[in-house]
Amino acid sequence: MKPLQASSGDLNADRRADFAEMLLASGESARAAELLLGALELAPRWAAGWFRLGEMQEAASLPDQAAQAWAMALKLEPADRLGAALKLQLIGKAAAAAAPPSAFVETLFDHYADSFEESLVGKLGYGLPDFLGHAIGKARPGRFRLALDLGCGTGLMGERLRPFVDRLEGYDISAGMLRKARGKGIYDLLAKADLQHFSRTGDRADLVVAADVFIYVGALDRIVGAVANMLADGGIFAFSLETLVGGGDFALLPSRRYAHSEAYARRALCANGLAILSLESMIIRHDRRDPVEGLAIVAGFPATTTEAGNPATA
């Protein structure tokens, strides 16, 4: 992926960088990296250039050099809008973190806001909102007084919720996504929020939804606890996860998304008094034509409704 900041501010450096991109596209990753390194001698404070150099060096099977480039990108821009820290983690050059940089998630979705729905629905076969909407209806038929759509994006999930919700609130880290959602006119409230630190006061909700959101959150313990505190008695919490293959609670994938295990989700819910009402496997979307397997989970109060270790599978 070409960096979001396409220009270094130096015309000669930009020309070399463009030629490096042509070399990379033709399969000459080592030569591309060498040329981009020369461009960075002209623009040494170009963080996006260092990030792209790391990607070229990774493609050329030069992980140690890639790590140095990504470390430089992170030094020049500690907020890490490009996700250099995630790249370092993936090649084993940095300790695994419990969450991605918030600036990376915000920048990613601001960048893709205009093409998000066309890409996700039209090209990647995204059917989660319909699937999760049906699961909610089976778990608790009827209307909901107040629903919170966490990580609402452009409003794909909100469109499914609106017909059976009296008041619908949407929260997202991306101003670009919120602008798109606002244009649909389906939310009673839209607000910018980072789910890694999310909290809300006021009336408790009887429905909280997080559709295809936790892939950009990482550790779930804090957000599940926050949701439990927002839920009214008898409220339900519907969300999805990408399925983690192998052991562990959650892991960062090469896509720079997080996958979670079913066992971890169960523990996080149970620790906050939530019982699983339904848990279904599904294909969330496709990535480079490969199916992305996930879980659609509906949980709720009271915990005695269903034993947390023995969910009713719809």
pLDDT at 302: 65
Residue 243 CB coordination number (10 Å): 16
Q: Where are the domains of the chain?
A: 11-95, 114-305
The yes-or-no verdict on residue 180 having pLDDT over 80 is yes
What tens digit of pLDDT does each residue of 258-269 get? 999 999 999 999
Give me the pLDDT at residue 108, please: 93
Task: Give the tens place of pLDDT for each residue, 8-33.
Answer: 888 999 999 999 999 999 999 999 99
Domain 11-95 has CATH 1.25.40.10: yes
pLDDT tens readout for residues 64-117: 999 999 999 999 999 999 999 999 999 999 999 999 999 999 999 999 898 888
Q: Which one of 3.40.50.720, 3.40.50.150, 3.20.10.10, 3.30.70.20 gives the CATH number of domain 114-305?
A: 3.40.50.150
pTM: 0.89
User: Residue 1 burial by CB count (10 A; 0-12/13-18/19+): exposed, middle or buried?
Assistant: exposed
φ/ψ of residue 105, rounded to 5: -65, -45
Percent of the chain with pLDDT over 90: 82
Long-range contacts of 132-136 (CB under 8 A, 24+ apart): 132/157, 132/160, 132/209, 132/211, 132/238, 132/239, 132/240, 132/296, 133/157, 133/160, 133/161, 135/238, 135/278, 135/280, 135/296, 135/298, 135/314, 136/161, 136/207, 136/209, 136/236, 136/238, 136/298
% the chain with pLDDT above 70: 94
